[in-house]
Amino acid sequence: MESRPSSPKEVEEVEEDSKRRTVLSLSLSVKDKKILKKLSMEKEKTIASIIHQWIEKAESER
């Protein structure tokens, strides 16, 4: 299990890291890509933000 930041400096480092971005190449079926794009448009969110929410949810359920 990952430890939580305990000092203000550790919190700042975690916040700074969460702002960094990287590129991810993802291979999806055509059908899944269409569904994901439709979901993105309906929620008025980027695909990246939707995936980020899924990651946060999965992490909190661990």
pLDDT tens column, 14-42: 566 677 888 989 999 999 999 999 999 99
Round to whole Å and give the CA distance between 62 and 56.
10
What residue numbers bound the domain in which 57 lies? 25-62
Question: How many independent structural domains does the chain possess?
Answer: 1
Tell me, yes or no, whether 62 lies in a domain: yes
* Token pair listed for 49: 């933000």
Q: How confident is the model at residue 50 (pLDDT cuts 50, 70, 90)?
A: very high
Q: Report the predicted TM-score, pTM, of the whole model to 2 decimal places.
A: 0.65
* Phi, psi (rounded to 5 degrees) for 59: -65, -40
Tell me, yes or no, whether 1 lies in a domain: no
Round to whole Å and give the CA distance between 24 and 36.
16
Tell me, yes or no, whether 61 lies in a domain: yes
Task: Considering only the C-alpha atoms of the chain, give the largest distance between any 2 of them, rounded to a whole number of Å.
Answer: 45
pLDDT at 3 over 60: no
Tell me, yes or no, whether 40 lies in a domain: yes
